[in-house]
Amino acid sequence: MPIKSGDKLPSVDLYENTPTAKVNIAELTAGKKVIIIGVPGAFTPCCSKSHLPSYISDFEKFKSKGIDEIVCVAVNDPYVMAAWGKDQNANGKVRMLADTNGAFAKALDLEKDLSGPLGNVRCQRFSMLVEDGVVKALNVEPDGTGASCSLSNNILSQI
């Protein structure tokens, strides 16, 4: 069953910039208000033109609502995630974390098989508000890949 509001976030290691820099998502969210967005793929048109940019441009709004961090997760390797963050000017606003092996997407039960177009199982597009490790709001795109309910304006209204 997919993760839902009220659930505790699973403890999974993600990677930032390089394959050796582990970031445990349970540790990262402990005692904090964190927005996590999941995306099907770095550099894909929808993720690059609407989804991630909406969070980067609304960074100050999230900050003023008490959000400590915004994290973007995709099943891509850490080098690709870092390059995508650089390309999108995410630095200092959205942390780009690699779910290298898809362990986080699997633990959330939010996998999306995109083997055909992208080569492997990725993550459904979602936005999530996490407070002290517990999911407080979750918006998963109905088709897994569109960008409507998971855009920044919706979760901003849920904080």
Catalytic residues: 47
Structure tokens at 22: 């582990």
Rounded to a whole number of angstroms, the minimum distance from the CB of residue 131 to a second copy is 29
- Is-contact 147 50, C-beta < 8 A? yes
Q: Would you tell me how many other CB atoms lie within 10 Å of the CB of residue 59?
A: 16
Q: What is the smallest separation between the CB atom of 30 and a second copy, expressed in angstroms?
A: 26
Neighbours of 93 (CB within 10 A): 19
Q: Which is nearer to a second copy, 42 or 90 (CB)?
A: 42
The strand ranges marked E within the chain are: 13-15, 22-24, 33-39, 69-74, 94-98, 111-114, 120-123, 126-131, 134-140
70 vs 81, beta carbon nearer a second copy: 81
Within 124-153, which residues bind a second copy (CB under 8 A)? none
Q: DSSP state, 32? A: S
* Subset of 6-45 contacting a second copy (CB under 8 A): 19, 41-45
Q: In the bound complex, what is the minimum distance in angstroms from residue 29's beta carbon to a second copy?
A: 23
Residue 58 or 99: the one with the smaller Cβ distance to a second copy is 99
Residues 79-108 that bind a second copy (CB under 8 A): 79-80, 82-84, 87, 98, 100-102
- CB-CB contact of 2 with 140 (8 Å): yes
Q: Does residue 71 interact with a second copy by CB under 8 A?
A: no
Q: Which is nearer to a second copy, 74 or 151 (CB)?
A: 74
